[in-house]
Each structure stands twice: as structure tokens, then as C-alpha cells.
Amino acid sequence: MKQLPKEWIEQIITLLNERIVVVDAKGIVVYMDQAYCDFIERPVNQCIGYHVKDVIENTRMHVIVKTGKIELEDFHPINGSVMIANRFPIVVDDEIVGAVGTVMFPTPENLRDFKNKIQQLVTDLSYYRDKVNNELRSKYTFKDLIGNSQEFVHLKEFAETVAGNDSSVLITGESGTGKELFANAIHNSSLREQHPFLPINCSAIPEELFESELFGYSEGAFTDAKKGGKKGLFEIAHNGTIFLDEIGELPLSMQSKLLRVLQEREIQPIGAQKYISINVRIIVATNRNLLKMVENGEFREDLYYRLNVIHIDIPPLRKRKEDIKQTAYQLLRKLEHKFYRSDVMISKEVIKQLEMHHWPGNVRELENVLERAINMLKENTILLQHLPLYIRDIILEERMNIEQTEKNRGNEIVYLKKMKEVIADAEKQAIQNALSHTKGNKLEAAKLLGIGKTSLYDKCHQYSIN
């Protein structure tokens, strides 16, 4: 290969943003570019042939030729300024014959520009760190759990009492009853409130990714493993609270690993040789019957009893009708902020209609109904025509059934039977209307009804809806 002329090499070095010095095995300067000499205010002939310690203030080039170790991005105070230095040994035939050093920012002005850029990066990093930390904070307190019914008030008092300890909590209830809100409130009332609150939806993580997501992995653990490895969610939540929603969807293979976390308070990332101690409180939630799953071999019995130390069962909205008005107005205040509205009211007729509905989707369904209504609103009051058609139709049917039932008060058994029929008919009609609206798309219908996909499939099977 043709060698570059000496003049070319010298000009290339001059054009670079780095200044260069080369020493031999004894630390004697054998090359130093003109710009470097100018910066230290010494002529070239008083640099070449001299020991590097006598030429460059605070140098470490003579150390490199002894240790053979590379030094990168080292701050080098010199001549009233600070430079960024890189130092490399020169090895020929396995023997250290010298060293080459480069420095950047040879003037205080350049250094100030560099410091300003670094400061901006630090500011940006601080902003994103705070943003991440805020996202790991719980958002709700017990004040956000609205309801004056006796059962609901007692439930809140119980949850607030047990919030201060570290026992595992199992929250059960139908979809949309507010299980995650209770988990948030429990964390916010605990001694862990200043630490992370990490909600995880077990049904949203593919089974093959569960272990790496929850426990992390070390570098080289598998083919596409991220360089440096990855922290698992349990490690991220250290000293805080992990909320495992839809715990009934947790694969059996992962249930044994979760049991170990509860028993030993440690995790082992994939590919790691050592266990990592963690301090995490675990709150889980489900709308499924875990005890029945245990009987069917779908859920580990030992894990069930480990999780079910404190049990909170949230009643569905239909069992606390007296809370519907208050809950509706709380949701409305939240929606006002989202849609830039204010002082939206609900007519008495609408409140009466809402209180008569069965609410299979609970609070989530109520929020969906109100969001639809506020989208249609031209004035400032929600009227009957703003309610979804499937609710209006169901409510009329419920009224007719209830009126007919009340005529038969003399026979209590008939009355109870009628109410069960009303509830079943209401659910069936709601599902049929939703499926009709979504043209048979069950996932969209479930979202419209405010219930889980699994619940919708179960009800379709129960009511023979194809």
C-alpha cells in the first residue's frame, strides 16, 4: 500500500480537532504537533527529545508506557484549562515501544462550549429521570374512591387500616370495579409511598416474555439479549409495590417463580449466576375465581394462600346503586378536564335511568357512557337522548318488567324470579346490541361494554350468543 507523504500526515493531524503527542518507551517525546506546542507555549525544538514530564504539565504518558493500560476521557488540568485526554500504549511484537496521547478542547473557550453542552445533557437527563419517577408513582388515594354505601365505606376503612403493613393483598371484583384504584390507594397510604408503584397487567405480557420482563436478564443470556442486560420489573420496583393485575392469567411456570419471590425475597435474572435480594410488597387483583382455579389445577394452591393474606372484595356497581350519582359526577369532573368543558350537569331523568341500569361493566362502563354523552353535548346538561341506545332500550325493558313484577307482590318467589330474568335479559340485550354495533367484533364489543374479553366470551356462552 502506498505510504502517505509526511507533509500530508502533518496537515491531517493539524486539521483534526485533537492534539497529539507521541513518546518512546522511556517517556521521551518523539512527536508533538505544532498546535499542541503552541498551546503549551513551547517551540517544537524544546519539546522533541525532552522527557514528557518536563514538557506537559500533569502528564501521564510516562505511566502508560509502564502499565500498558489505555486511559480514555480523562480530565487533564493544564495551562489554566482542562482538556479531555485519551492515552494508548503502542505495542509492536508484544512489546510496548511507546505511547500516543490525544487531547481535545485546547482553549478555555472550547471547554466552556463543551461544559454548556454537557450541562444541557444533564438537564435533559434529569427531566426524563423525573418523568420516569413520576410515572412510577401511584396516582390515586383513598379520597379518590367515591362511595357512601355502607359496604363500600367499610371496605375503604379496612383497606386503609391494612395499608400500613407489608402483607400481600388479593383484590377481587368484577371488571371495572376499580381494583387498580384500590391498589394505588393502598400504596399511597403505606410507608412505601415515596418508592415506585409498578402496575403490571399479566394478561398483556406474552407467556414467553414473562420471565425476562419480571426478573430481567444478564448480558448474553440469549441471542437478542441487550448489551449490559436488562433490569426486571421486580428489581425496578425495589422498596416499592408491585401490582399484578389479572393474576389469574399468570402461567403455571411463572407461578412457582413468583412463589419463590414471596418466600425468599430474591430473584434470579435469566442467565445470571447470583440471586438479587429485593424488598417489594405484592398486591394482586383478578376478576376470576382463584379458588375454583386451584381446584381445577390452573392455579397453585400454595401461591394462592401466600397471596390471599389480606382479601379485599370490591362490590359491583349494581350492588351499591346509592353511589351511582356521586360516582357519575366524579367521573364527569374528570371528563370535563379531558374535553375542556366545565359545570356539566346530569338531568334528574338521566340519574334515575342510570340508577336502574344493571352495569355489567361497572364503573368503567359508566365512564364510557358519560364520555359518549359529553361528546354529543351541545348545551351543559346531559339528557336522555345523550345516553347510548342500548342503555335506553334496556332501561325501558327493565321498567316494564319491574312494574309488572310489582303487581305480583303477593308472591315473593315470583318477584325474585322476575328480577333474575330482568338481569339476564338486560345483559343479553346489552351484549347483542354491542355486537351489532361492532359488527360482531367481540374485542370492540367488550371495550364498548367496559368488560374484559374473557368475561364477554363467558357471557356469550352463557346466553348462547354466537
- Chain segment 218-232, per-residue pLDDT in tens: 877 766 667 778 888
Closest CA to 329 of 314, 350, 360: 350
Asked if 329 and 228 sit in the same domain, the reply is no
- Assigned domain for 271 exists: yes
Q: Give me the CATH number covering residue 166.
A: 3.40.50.300
Q: Do 168 and 294 lie in a common domain?
A: yes
Global pTM reads 0.58
Does a structural domain hold residue 119?
no
C-alpha to C-alpha distance for 356 and 216, rounded to whole angstroms: 49
The sign of the torsion formed by the CA atoms of 438, 442, 446, 447 equals negative
The verdict on residue 456 lying in a domain is yes
Does 114 map to a domain? no
Angle at CA 328, nearest 5°, toward 326 and 329?
Answer: 70
pLDDT of residue 414: 43
CATH number where 412 lies? 1.10.10
Segments of the chain scoring below 50 in pLDDT? 395, 409-417
Boundary-marking domain end, from 368, 387, 406: 387
Are 459 and 434 in the same domain? Answer: yes
Question: Computed from CA positions of residues 45, 48, 50, 55, in that sequence, does the dihedral angle turn out positive or negative?
Answer: positive
Task: State whether 381 and 432 are in the same domain.
Answer: no
**Total domains, the chain:** 4
Burial of 328 (0-12, 13-18, 19+ CB in 10 A): buried
Check residue 377 and give its pLDDT. Answer: 86
d(CA 215, CA 416): 51
- Rounded CA separation 442/435 (Å): 7
Radius of gyration of the chain, Cα coordinates, nearest whole angstrom = 35
CA 418 to chain centre: 46
Residues 293 and 193 in one domain: yes
Residue 413 lies in a domain: yes
Query: Residue 451: what pLDDT?
Result: 81
Whether 157 is covered by a domain: the verdict is yes
347 belongs to a structural domain? yes
Dihedrals phi, psi of 382, to nearest 5 degrees: -80, 125
* Domain finish residue from 387, 404, 422: 387
Residue 45 backbone dihedrals phi, psi, to 5 degrees:
-70, -10
Question: What's the pLDDT at 38?
Answer: 87
Same domain? 166 vs 78: no
Task: State whether 269 and 219 are in the same domain.
Answer: yes
pLDDT for 415 equals: 41
The whole domain housing 438 covers 394-466
CATH number at residue 344: 1.10.8.60
- In this prediction, residue 95 carries a pLDDT of 93
Give the torsion sign (CA, 349, 351, 356, 357): positive
Q: Which amino acid is at 305?
A: Y
- Residue 269 has a pLDDT of 87
308 and 333 in a single domain? The answer is no
Question: Are 62 and 35 in the same domain?
Answer: yes
Strand order in the sheet with 95-104: 29-32, 18-24, 95-104, 81-92, 71-78
359 within domain boundaries: yes
8 Å CB contact between 52 and 27: yes
**Which amino acid is residue 351, in one-letter code?**
I
311 and 330 part of one domain? no
Residues 243, 176: one domain? yes
Residues 196 and 270 in one domain: yes
- Digit-coded pLDDT (tens) for 242-266: 999 999 988 888 898 899 888 889 9
Residue ending a domain, among 315, 339, 372, is 315
DSSP code, position 16? S
